[in-house]
Amino acid sequence: KTVKYKYNINSAMSYRYLMNISSNLRLYVKKSSIHGYGLYTCEFINEGEPVIEYIGEYIRNIISDKREKYYDKIESSCYMFRLNENIIIDATKWGNVSRFINHSCEPNCFCKIVSCDQNLKHIVIFAKRDIAAHEEITYDYQ
């Protein structure tokens, strides 16, 4: 099944629009039956719509390894998302509610790397199918 994109996210203007409509008014965090806390919708989201950007601190592998060990040592949750071979986005201490999206083998969302310029890439979560109001947002971590 091919997902049709409602927005042209290849331009910086469309990306800025996406970030303005996203998340704060459309999503909330609460206890999840999947694991710990989860991210939920306030309203219906159409298939192909951008849901939220995964936001955090851009770090290199060597820093990521050190932080993972530190978070493990202090028994803290760790919210990291690999952007490419060299860069990880760490949302553990700095980020947004996207860190609460849980894994599912049958997710309602998928991730796409979006470039607004040649230097900075973003991870944007899109609806894989129509998502009902108050449904938990999930994607496949693999």
Residues with Cβ within 8 Å of residue 95, at least 6 apart in sequence: 54, 55, 56, 57, 79, 89
User: Are the C-beta atoms of 71 and 25 separated by less than 8 Å?
Assistant: no
Asked if residue 6 has pLDDT above 90, the reply is no
Shared-domain flag, residues 49 and 101: yes
pLDDT digits (tens, 9 = 90+) for 93-126: 888 899 999 999 999 999 988 877 667 788 889 8
Range of the domain at 69: 56-95
**What is the count of structural domains for the chain?**
2
Shared-domain flag, residues 39 and 104: yes
Shared-domain flag, residues 34 and 6: yes
Shared-domain flag, residues 136 and 108: yes
Query: Taking the complete model, does pTM exceed 0.85, yes or no?
Result: no
Determine the 3-state secondary structure of 140 from DSSP: coil
